[in-house]
A and B are shown apart, each in its own frame.
Chain A
């Protein structure tokens, strides 16, 4: 009887707490809200047309170009940007570098949300979206397909990231025993997460291996999986620098003073990691270029475009990172992070859209609706991120 009363009281307290937390906090009329709300609403209207009348009603996709901006940007680019979570958890939990403990939670949250929203955006691009469950339930597994690997990896990786983040939820709900239990799972989840990340980051590149005749030779290589994996490391680090800089300003009241002081050092450390990775990536590109004897291909417009990507958005930001770290200049590191992110975006879009079917007579250009839906996905992710960090102890160290 007594037990029953306690459970009932606890349930009431829990429901009351959740209702309280669901209420909006802070000012409503902020520049971000004014811009994002109309775009999210417009995006929802476009999605209504997409699901009722089909892909052709809102996109410029065709039989020649079945993969467009939603796959090229949301999935292929977004997943590379989410690479920071596996890099940081590796550094903190495996390499035992304590310096980065204060950013583990926020980085894992970013990774988890990126996967949920960007990989979730895959549903929008499927002609028959209800078939997305097939590789999971076994209705035609497609064992020999790279997409089978990517689908399973996405699913398991999101679960692993949720486990990594669950101590924060347990702490927020004040569930001490659950918190202790899920904390004990962290290391296992991290090891699983890192293994899966290395495989599916490269797996996304492997998707393009079968499109050899369609991709411009400057972007096609049998080493695409390795290039995708290596570039996801510095993409993730650059994203942490970019998001960290914004979060540090917007949520400065939520960050504990200790983390405030170590922020500069953390940014410099991330910059150092990015500089070395970009250097390695650049030489991979050079080696592949020489191995493929592509000298004759850089004399036309495509060649110039390729050099812009590789020199302008890999080599130069790589040098900027190194220079910024050497001179302890955070502003140079931030500019390098933005250039690196643009470089990753260019590389992924070049591989999946721009240099894809490069010799076709009619080329694919995304419709305005595709851009709006992509913006909607990004804004929706930021809304959820903001809701979580203003309620849960995300900016606290995971010690």
Chain B
């Protein structure tokens, strides 16, 4: 019977995928941060 074991993300590409996901999220946040704030639509 196979025993359960944890995947070592240092040995697999897990850490690289994790970094890529963090990158994509942070890139969106960065673009939002440096973009000029859009004017809110006025309600009449």
Interface size on A, residues (CB 8 A): 14
Question: Which single member of B16, B20, B23, B34 contacts A322 (CB below 8 Å)?
Answer: B34
Question: Which single member of B15, B23, B33, B34 contacts A283 (CB below 8 Å)?
Answer: B23
Interface SS of chain B? helix
B19 close to A322 (CB less than 8 A): no
B19 close to A287 (CB less than 8 A): yes
B5 within 8 A of A: no
Q: Mark B9-35, 1 if CB is under 8 A from A, else 0.
A: 010000110011001001100110110
B37 to chain A, nearest CB (A): 10
B34 close to A287 (CB less than 8 A): no
Question: Which single member of A276, A280, A290 contacts B15 (CB below 8 Å)?
Answer: A290
B26 close to A279 (CB less than 8 A): yes
Please, how many angstroms separate the alpha-carbon atoms of A290 and B14 in the complex?
A: 10
A25 within 8 A of B: no
Identify which of residues 278-320 in chain A touch chain B, using a CB-to-CB cut-off of 8 Å: 279-280, 283, 286-287, 290-291, 293
Please, how many angstroms separate the alpha-carbon atoms of A286 and B23 in the complex?
A: 10
Interface SS of chain A? helix
Known pairs A283-B23, A286-B19, A287-B16; A293 contacts B30 (CB<8 A): no
Please, how many angstroms separate the alpha-carbon atoms of A280 and B15 in the complex?
A: 17
Q: Mark A118-139, 1 if CB is under 8 A from B, else 0.
A: 0000000000000000000000
B16 close to A291 (CB less than 8 A): yes
Inside 8 A of A293's CB, which chain B residues have their CB? 10
A290 close to B30 (CB less than 8 A): no
A276 close to B30 (CB less than 8 A): yes
Inside 8 A of A322's CB, which chain B residues have their CB? 30, 33-34
Inside 8 A of B20's CB, which chain A residues have their CB? 287
Please, how many angstroms separate the alpha-carbon atoms of A280 and B30 in the complex?
A: 11
Q: Mark A56-91, 1 if CB is under 8 A from B, else 0.
A: 000000000000000000000000000000000000
A215 within 8 A of B: no
Q: Mark A368-392, 1 if CB is under 8 A from B, else 0.
A: 0000000000000000000000000
Inside 8 A of A279's CB, which chain B residues have their CB? 26-27, 30
A325 close to B19 (CB less than 8 A): no
A313 to chain B, nearest CB (A): 18
Question: Which single member of B16, B26, B31 contacts A290 (CB below 8 Å)?
Answer: B16
A311 to chain B, nearest CB (A): 16
Inside 8 A of A337's CB, which chain B residues have their CB? none
Please, how many angstroms separate the alpha-carbon atoms of A326 and B15 in the complex?
A: 31
Inside 8 A of A325's CB, which chain B residues have their CB? 34
A200 within 8 A of B: no
Question: Which single member of B16, B23, B26, B34 contacts A326 (CB below 8 Å)?
Answer: B34
Inside 8 A of A280's CB, which chain B residues have their CB? 27
Please, how many angstroms separate the alpha-carbon atoms of A386 and B8 in the complex?
A: 60
Not counting A287-B19, A291-B16, a sample of 18 additional A-B residue pairs whose C-beta atoms are within 8 angstroms of each other reads A272-B34, A275-B30, A275-B34, A276-B27, A276-B30, A276-B31, A279-B26, A279-B30, A280-B27, A283-B19, A283-B23, A286-B19, A287-B23, A290-B15, A322-B33, A322-B34, A325-B34, A326-B34
Can you pick out 16 interface pairs between chain A and chain B where the beta carbons lie within 8 Å of each other?
A275-B30, A275-B34, A276-B30, A279-B26, A279-B30, A280-B27, A283-B23, A287-B16, A287-B20, A287-B23, A290-B15, A290-B16, A290-B19, A322-B33, A325-B34, A326-B33
Question: Which A residues contact B (CB, under 8 angstroms)?
Answer: 272, 275-276, 279-280, 283, 286-287, 290-291, 293, 322, 325-326
